[in-house]
Structure 1
Amino acid sequence: MTETETAAQSSIWTDEPFDVHAEDPFDRGSFVATVVRRIQVATADDPSTVFGLVGPWGSGKTSILDRVRSGLGDGWQIADFTPWSSGDAASMSLEFVNTVADLLGEKAAGEHRAKLAGYAGFIAPLLGAIPIVGSGAQGTAEHLLDAIGSRPPWHKQFADLSQAIQTLGKRVLIVVDDVDRLGGSELLTLLRVVRLLGRFRGVHYLIAYDQDTVEDLLRSTGSVGRSAAFMEKIVQYPFETPPLPRAAVIRLLNGVLEELLAKTDSHLDHLGLQRATSLVDALAPQLRTPRALGRFREHLNAFADHVSTARLDLLDYVAITWLRLNAHGVWSQLDSWRHELRSGERATSLTETEKLTADIWEGRIAEAHPQADRTGTLDVLSFLFEGVDVRERRTFIKHPRAMNDPTYFERYLLLAIPEDDVDDELIRIVAAELDPDKFREAATALARVLDGNDDALANLAISRLTVFRENYTTPNLLLLQFLAERMHVRVDEAERVGSPRNGLRPLVAREMALAVLAGETSAPDIIEMFGETEALNAVWMAPRFAEFRDRRSDLAEGFARFWADRLRSEPGAYIKGGRLGGVAELVTFALEPEETNGLLDPAVTDYDSYIDLAEGFVYAAEWVGSSYTYELQFRKDAFRSLISASTLERYRPQVLEHSGKVEYDVEGHPSRDIPPEIVKAFTVDSLSAL
């Protein structure tokens, strides 16, 4: 950026014109030079000429006027006439008199002010005779003019005053800015004043206005014919302000992005840089005036702190700010369109959908905000949302913290983290921080979310934590202990759909596997930390992650040896505790047959203990259809591995004697709570089939 651009971006925006001595950031120097050269041709003897500086609101007309004034140099007497500060025809005439009188100098003004006032007093009734300026609209200023001396014939007054002005020896330029601030009748009065009151030789005018606005104002009076033709009679030399060069707008937008990156302490990776280019390409054609650029930049800077506090993507923040300022009607509809913006489809019936084409989106844009640029607005929507295509061309690129992500969508409308959302910074610290002191405060805050009664919020936090940790392949023992504490808080909670414990388990499994396989912790430590049930769940769940599939045996071995020792020493604890089957299956999976064969034989002392032991290998498998049902199954392979063939044969006669005595259903049970007599009968029948 140039020094001018940097300075222009260093203070609060006030819509003030640029310093005439500074470099023009919009490269309009050649245009200003052309205007100056043409005005310089006018002499002190020439009839009054009206030059026009024509451009839409915000196009920088005032800045150009200042540069033209500076470029004309000392050969001119230049004054500003502000007609919009006057209330009626007489007041406007008096204001004009004062403007011209001030040009004459203090002494000359004293001599000629009365002549000017008399001249204005002669003209004011003519202005008042205009139908839209009735006598009731004239104020005290006209009574003041009526009181000023006798009135010589109009042409003599005009000649005397022309002579007085020519004695100045300089050309006079009266600059009239902000003409389009006037009402319709005021504008017509101004143009009459210029035409009837101020056409002195050597007095020239430079009037700045928006052509469309002026024509609308003139039409609203009903007192002129074709408004464009009327202006042509008043303004002899209209100069159209040039559009902003596309390159200059792109350069300034890039500068704004650099400024925001520094202010929010953000950076863009190669994907971010690609997105930034797409965004600038979409916005540049829409920012057509210096005012639009300045206003946009000011709003971006005013709320830039929210990028950090609300954990927003900087480029999405820029895009949504443009929508809020320039297509507010569309912005206000985003919440109701949120599903369609992501999917690119809308429901046409309960079972059918319709693809939303670019034409449909443009129609929606026109309905929501008729003044919005449809193409430009569609480009910005396509940048923000994956479901919006522009003629089969999508500019959306997947990225973190996107407004397209349903969990972040509302943040961009509120520019804050909603009450039903979770601060990303808490997630980041808990997921990645290895310093206990830094970890503790964030962990305490996140624990309140995970342990609270709002399951939806807790599950959102778990999902964010899971996604964040996907990028890490090194263990974090602080996080692992944190997860263990969260599981213990819910240890007595019944299994149910939507419980945060369901989301915690896969996260626990991955973090446990990372830590154990890296040698940062051991199987006994994990079992002590999480308890046997959750540790067993984690060991079985970890191989679902692709990164651990080839190491399932390595992961399970330490746990298998721990539980094999416990089965030898305390088999009764597992038989009564209901954990026998799952532990036995892991032991037989991870250890060699010679290490497990007959391992549970010491627990069998008679037929009843044999059946009690075997019942530990029965479990209810869950099936999901129109409802949940459960089927009885027996872990026969694990049983055969842990009970020796001799023990099987010893009790086989009694098993055959008791089998087939009870009728029951193996499947279709409505819950896991299956009557004990059915479980026992199924166990005996399963043993008879071995």
Structure 2
Amino acid sequence: MNRVLHLLADDPISEPGDDKLNRRIFAGQVIEVIRRLPAKESSTVLALIGPWGSGKSSLLGLVTKSLELYQSEEWKVVAFNPWELSSLDGLMLGFFEAISSAIPDEFKTKTVGETLQGYAGRLLTLGGAFKVPGAMLANAMGFADPGKLAEGLGKLLDSKVSTQALKKRLEAALAEMPQRLLVVIDDLDRLMPDELLMVFKLIRLLGRLSGVHYLLAYDEQTVLAVLKESQLARGSSDRALAYLEKIVQVRLDLPTVHRTQVLELIQSCVGELLSLPRKPVSEQERARLMVLLESDLLVRLNEPRSIKRFFAQVAAYLPLVVHRVDLPDFVALSYVRTFHPMLYRELHRRKRELLTPERPTESTGKQLDWTRISMEAGVPESEATTLVGLIGSIFPTGSVSSSHRNFLHGAAERRAANADYFDRYFYFGVPPGDVSEDELEAVVSRLRQAGAEADMARLELWLREKFDLVLPKLKALEAGLDGFQRAYLLIALAHKYREAHASGENLFKHYDFLELSMQVLTGVSEEAAEFVSQALADSTEIHFLFLLMRRLQAERREEALTGTGGQKLLLACAHRVPEILAAQTGQTLPKVPWCIGLASAWASVVGHEPVHHWMVSQMESGKTSWRVEDLVGCCVVGVEPLSEGLFGERYRVNLGPVLHQIDLFALVPRAWLLEKLKGRIEAATESAELRKGAIVPFESLINDGLWALHRMLLATEGAD
């Protein structure tokens, strides 16, 4: 909790040890300038000038702290913040109170009090300005007996004593003080026009006493804009600047924050931010986050306050979204929300355009202009192009991204550009209808050998109804599952495969499904293997297991099954494979080429001899449509037909032989194959080399297979 509060704090510093921008050197120079001001002869106005949020208040804190510690005999420092006062009368009295508070008690005599109040009252009543009751002035200035002081003040104001004489009398009284006064006035850039003019008038008329100096702090651009709106400037920037130059004698421009310092501040905030979640953020997300923050896209993160304000926004929402969205995308969208809230709302409204690669058009028929959209949402023209680049990086496949670098490239599962996750970035959590990672993890964690029926049913329902939402989350959870949890998950995936197969969908074309299924199969514990074999009763589910084995073979990963529960499971289910293959022997092998892969996986599990016996018996029985020539042709190209029919149909040649992936002699005995095809092998030609990429009848593919087989035989043991 302390870390959260520290990250959200925006208080100026006052201790040198808290100075992360190395402003101590500049603060020392400001103090030196102040020390060199005339001792008693005049009054000087200095102005510390810097952009909003650049650290002016912190620098004032360093300066005043040093003066109070090391220059207290020479300087008396008093702070006056006009922004804290709610009216012009209150502002004026607050100013009097600040001046008076700097006068030591031993100098607050009746004469000094009457003279100070008389001078102030005379100036403020000249020209029909404010008329302040004497008792109110006395109270504001903290004198002991306001009633008597007010009576004396009335006489003084009604006397023939001139304003100049009052000033000289007051300066003579103040000259006896051992210290000079420094009035520090912060937050001038937050005032309304009439308030700002009142402060300047007080400084110019009342406060310009010898030995009383002023240190102002403001954002010059803002102050000039406020002055421009006043009756004094009447809309003229030149008049506003001229007026300000008459008030300020010494301008002290705050040093700019160097890019290196900006990055150090950002890294410090990121360190605090990433310490908040109980579960650490992945290294990949952390690295991509730093790429974003160190890029040139977040142009407003250039001053201490804007950086802290931004990370305060991120920290406030982080517990709601961490591990539920992609952190770099969330930080990028938080930047838009913090500094350009109208554009953030516009992004939510334009979900379709952001997620589709087409170039949608406006109602006028013109293509979307994201720069114009940004500017209409209040983005300054100077930032529009950069901001569009940022949005294009968040949504790299959408209509906005065509000409922008993808700074945030990474895993797509939880990114804002994923339609299944887009709403989370605006809902600040898991919206209704979605499945949260926490909920899914809780269900999977309860999958054990007994008592898991309800959770299993819930998992299968999610896979059935929210397949694309749940699958990436399951893939992320897989590494932390135990053997029995993997067993239950494998059963659920097999059931999903069976349902998809029945509807004509091939889930083996879905990379995440295939990869997750293979990982789960290789991780099933030996104790759970029998449990899974009993749960998978449908032939399609057994087919699913052996297709996974076949895919592991094709990717040279079958060793991952050695000695595992997955291998034990396949052995337990191997007796079901002949039943599955026999159901397909009424069709020719070119129609069911997947049977070859299934037979190959079967051979890997049980050995060659049972497969040899079954395949030979089928092809020699005369009761099936399987031919040895078709087996050779399918092993070379393994393609699907381009049109309905059998040998009259045409196939596209692919010279990446399946012979490189399937051991043909694991399916049928070598001697038997050569005996059956000896004459055709000798007659095979090299026509395949001449037809790469062509479309040819399947009989020609058989010739290609025979020729490839011929070459393979020559390479192993010569002509047979």
**TM-score, scaled relative to structure 1:** 0.69
Check if 1:163 corresponds to 2:172: yes
2:491 to 453, 463, 484: 484
Q: Is the 8 A contact 1:306 1:312 kept in 2?
A: no
Change in Cα spacing, 1:334 to 1:492, as seen in structure 2 (3 Å) is closer
Q: Give the Å deviation of 1:9.
A: 7.7
Partner Cα separation in structure 1 for residue 215 and residue 267 of structure 2: 35
Per the alignment, residue 461 of structure 2 pairs with: 451
Query: Secondary structure of the equivalent of 2:214?
Result: strand
Worse-matched range after superposition: 443-452 or 224-233: 443-452
Conserved in 2, the CA contact under 8 Å of 1:49 and 1:205?
A: yes
Equivalent residue runs for 1:328-343 within 5 Å: 328-342=341-355
Q: In structure 1, what residue type is equivalent to 2:82?
A: P
| Alignment size in residue pairs | 579
Matched, 1:149 2:154: yes
Matched residue type, 1:386: P
Contact 1:249 1:287 in 2 (8 A): yes
Is 2:249 the counterpart of 1:236? yes
Q: Report the secondary structure of 2:77's partner residue.
A: strand
Q: Which amino acid in the other structure matches residue 80 of structure 1?
A: A
| Alpha-carbon contact 2:263-2:294 (below 8 Å) kept | yes
Map of 2:416 onto structure 1: 403
Shift of 1:525: 6.7
Q: Distance in 1 between matches of 2:190 and 2:557?
A: 77
1:413-432 Cα shifts (integer Å, max 9, x gaps): 2221222222234556777x
Write the distance in 1 (CA, Å) between the matches of 2:516 and 2:196. Answer: 75
Distance 1:87 1:477, change over 3 A: closer
Q: Hey, what does 1:325 align to over in structure 2?
A: 338
Tell me which of 291, 295, 320 is aligned to 1:281: 295
How far, CA to CA, are the matches of 1:90 and 1:270 in structure 2?
A: 59
Give the Å deviation of 1:140: 6.4
Match of 2:376 in 1: 367
Offset, 1:163: 1.0
Spell out the pairing of 1:38-437 with structure 2 (5 A cutoff): 38-72=33-67, 73-74=71-72, 75-86=74-85, 91-111=90-110, 112-126=112-126, 128-129=128-129, 148-150=153-155, 151=157, 152-224=161-233, 226-264=239-277, 265-269=279-283, 272-273=286-287, 275-282=289-296, 285-308=299-322, 311-342=324-355, 345-348=358-361, 360-371=369-380, 373-387=383-397, 389=401, 392-399=404-411, 400-425=413-438
**Change beyond 3 A, Cα 1:446–1:179:** farther
Percent identical among aligned pairs is 24
In structure 1, C-alpha distance between the alignment counterparts of 2:522 and 2:338, rounded to whole Å: 48
Does residue 20 of the first structure (1) align with residue 15 of the second (2)?
A: yes
Counterpart Cα distance in 2 of 1:44 and 1:113 = 22
Q: Cα distance 1:53–1:587, how it changes in 2: closer, same or farther (>3 A)?
A: closer
Alignment check: 8 A CA contact 2:189 2:223 kept: yes
| 1:298 aligned partner, one-letter code | A
Per-residue CA shift, 1:147-192, capped at 9, x if unaligned? 6322222111100111111110221111111122322112111111
Contact between 2:46 and 2:251, CA under 8 Å: does it hold in 1? yes
Q: Contact 2:262–2:301 (CA<8 Å) still a contact in 1?
A: yes
1:529–1:163 distance in 2 versus 1, CA, 3 Å = same
> What is the TM-score when the length of structure 2 is the normalising length?
0.67
Look up the SS of the partner of 2:346 in the other structure: helix
Change in CA separation of 1:189 and 1:127 when aligned onto 2, cut-off 3 Å: farther
Q: Which of 482-491 and 173-182 deviates more? A: 482-491
Structure 2 residue ranges without an equivalent (≥5)? 139-149, 562-566, 587-591, 604-609, 625-639, 648-667, 669-720
Q: Check conservation: 2:77, 2:183, Cα contact below 8 A.
A: yes
The whole-number CA distance in structure 1 between the counterparts of 2:389 and 2:451 is 42
Which residue is equivalent to 1:652? none
2:213 aligned counterpart, secondary structure: strand
Shift of 1:231: 0.5
Task: Spell out, residue by residue over 1:414-471, the C-alpha distance to the aligned partner (whole angstroms, 9 max, x if none).
Answer: 221222222234556777x7x966x98999557425326x9543552145435765x8
Instruction: Note the C-alpha offset of 1:303.
Output: 2.6
Counterpart Cα distance in 2 of 1:15 and 1:632? 77
CA separation in 2, counterparts of 1:196 and 1:584?
A: 100
Structure 1 residue 108 displacement after superposition: 1.8
Task: Tell me how far 1:89 sits from its aligned partner.
Answer: 5.4
Q: Secondary structure at the match of 1:347?
A: coil
- In 1, distance between residues paired with 2:342 and 2:258? 28
> Residue 675 of structure 1 corresponds to which residue in structure 2?
none
CA contact 2:289–2:327 (8 Å) conserved in 1: no
Indicate the RMSD between aligned Cα atoms, in angstroms: 5.0
Match of 1:637 in 2: none
Following superposition, the deviation at residue 492 of structure 1 comes to 10
Would the alpha carbon gap of residues 106 and 451 (structure 1) be closer, same or farther in structure 2, given more than 3 Å must change?
same
**1-side partners of 2:285 and 2:424: how far apart?**
22
Q: Distance in 2 between matches of 1:13 and 1:271?
A: 23
**Code of the aligned partner of 1:190:** V
Distance in 2 between residues matched to 1:401 and 1:88, nearest whole Å: 52
> What 5-or-longer segments of structure 1 have no aligned partner?
1-6, 130-134, 576-580, 603-609, 612-622, 634-640, 642-690
Contact map agreement 1:90 1:124 (CA 8 A) in 2: no
Structure 1 residues 66-101: Cα deviation after superposition (integer angstroms, max 9, x where no partner): 212223322111112233455665554433333222
Amino acid at match of 1:300: V
Deviation at 1:297, TM superposition (A): 2.6
